Amino acid sequence: MPATIQSLEAVLVDIPTIRPHKLSMTTMGVQTMVIVRIKDSDGLEGLGEATTIGGLAYGPESPESVKLTIDTYFKPQLINQPADNINTLRVMLDRSSRGNNLAKSAIETALLDLLGKRLNRPVSELLGGAIHQHIPVLWTLASGDTARDIDEAGTLMAAKRHCDFKLKIGSRPVMDDVRHVAAIKAAVGDEASVRVDVNQAWDEATAARGMAELQAAGIDLVEQPTPMKDFAALARLSAKFHIPILADEAVADATDMYKLAAEGFSGAVAMKIAKAGGPLRVLEQAAVAKAAGIGLYGGTLLEGTIGTAASLHAWSTLDTLHWGSEMFGPLLMKDDIVVQPLNFHDNGVDLPRGPGLGVEIDEDKLAEYRRK
């Protein structure tokens, strides 16, 4: 008899960040995660996570809505189903509910973790096998203060924890942002790559002006300068400048990737397991991007260790991450809810070892931070 799903729990967890994290649409001081725990009839447990940046200020799903979706709609469908046929369960959820990719990603991750533990194999092997055991990771400088950001970058470079940096801009006048970014690039010099994330804050005309200035300042990459569904603007801007554009909010899944490529976009894409609906789905998106000659970047919604580990297992199976990754979410939080944190060193992070995701819940920490 195959093992069946016996219980499913979605827990809201609130962990303060080490500093305010400023985006164009909000500033974060606490990260909220939805931790999913699926137990099967043999007593094994799979872990998943759904996380967003700034709740509904960022996208259509909030942590609270993810928990409601899982508790009210997904759980009744999944209880007593065979736990090992992930594709069948994915199709079942897709037919009964539209969208809700963050919630679906947490479920898919937990099912992969559960299957990996059953087979005593890491999730990366279930996805075809890891090519890389160490994934490069950049750091986001998002205090909004130029001097503070320069000091932070210098400290991290000296410690060899990060050598690539992303700056969150878009909430101030364009030239104020450009001066802020240019000063940081001048301070770190050629020792570090500096990129910017505009989080959709500019219209096309402002983006053209901003990108010209950023290109002159030596910035390497501009992430999502214009509104998410204006594919034509992204394509026009990518043709106009040699500084590449990183499509983020514009691309959730493989279908979005195809449509943007068909518009003539060239550049790179920020893949995120949560946007795509899970590790399996995000690799479908990677295949479309690769076929279109679009560079790959391992993106994050600032997940904690569980969601970050799931992403790392997916990224490890790709032969080339052209722009590295930003899997620094656990480092932005003041504490963790796992027994063994991820190992960040040498400007990157190690792929967790062990069956499944390779992470284990710290029950005391979970009890401390779970929302009462």
Which residues are identified as catalytic?
168, 326
Cα gap 13→50, rounded to integer Å: 11
Q: Which two tokens stand for residue 327?
A: 């899997």
Domain residue extents for the chain: 5-120+362-369, 126-350
For tokens 């200020």, what's the residue? Answer: 57
CATH number for the domain running over 5-120+362-369: 3.30.390.10
Question: Over its length of 372 residues, how does the chain's per-residue pLDDT go in tens digits?
Answer: 789 999 999 999 999 998 777 665 667 788 999 999 999 999 999 999 999 887 777 778 999 999 999 999 999 999 999 999 999 999 999 999 999 999 999 999 999 999 999 999 999 999 999 999 999 999 999 888 899 999 999 999 999 999 999 999 998 999 999 999 999 999 999 999 999 999 999 999 999 999 999 999 999 999 999 999 999 999 999 999 999 999 999 999 999 999 999 999 999 999 999 999 999 999 999 999 999 999 999 999 999 999 999 999 999 999 999 999 999 999 999 999 999 999 999 999 999 999 999 999 999 999 999 998
Query: In this structure, are residues 167 and 210 in contact, taking their beta carbons and an 8 Å threshold?
Result: no
Cα gap 266→270, rounded to integer Å: 13
Beta strands per DSSP E along the chain? 5-22, 27-40, 45-51, 134-136, 139-141, 164-168, 193-197, 221-223, 245-247, 268-271, 295-298, 344-345, 348-350
Left if phi > 0, otherwise alpha if psi is -120 to 50, otherwise beta: which for 125?
A: alpha
Phi, psi angle pair for 29, to nearest 5°? -120, -15
| Residues 6 or more apart whose Cβ sits within 8 Å of residue 76 | none
Cα gap 43→26, rounded to integer Å: 41
Cα gap 347→324, rounded to integer Å: 10
Left if phi > 0, otherwise alpha if psi is -120 to 50, otherwise beta: which for 5?
A: beta
Domain covering 126-350 assigned CATH 3.40.50.280 in the classification? no
DSSP lists the bridge partners of residue 195 as 166, 221
**β-pairing verdict for 221-223 and 134-136:** unpaired
Query: In this structure, are residues 270 and 251 in contact, taking their beta carbons and an 8 Å threshold?
Result: yes
Task: Give the other-Cβ count within 10 Å of 132's Cβ.
Answer: 18
pTM for the whole structure: 0.95
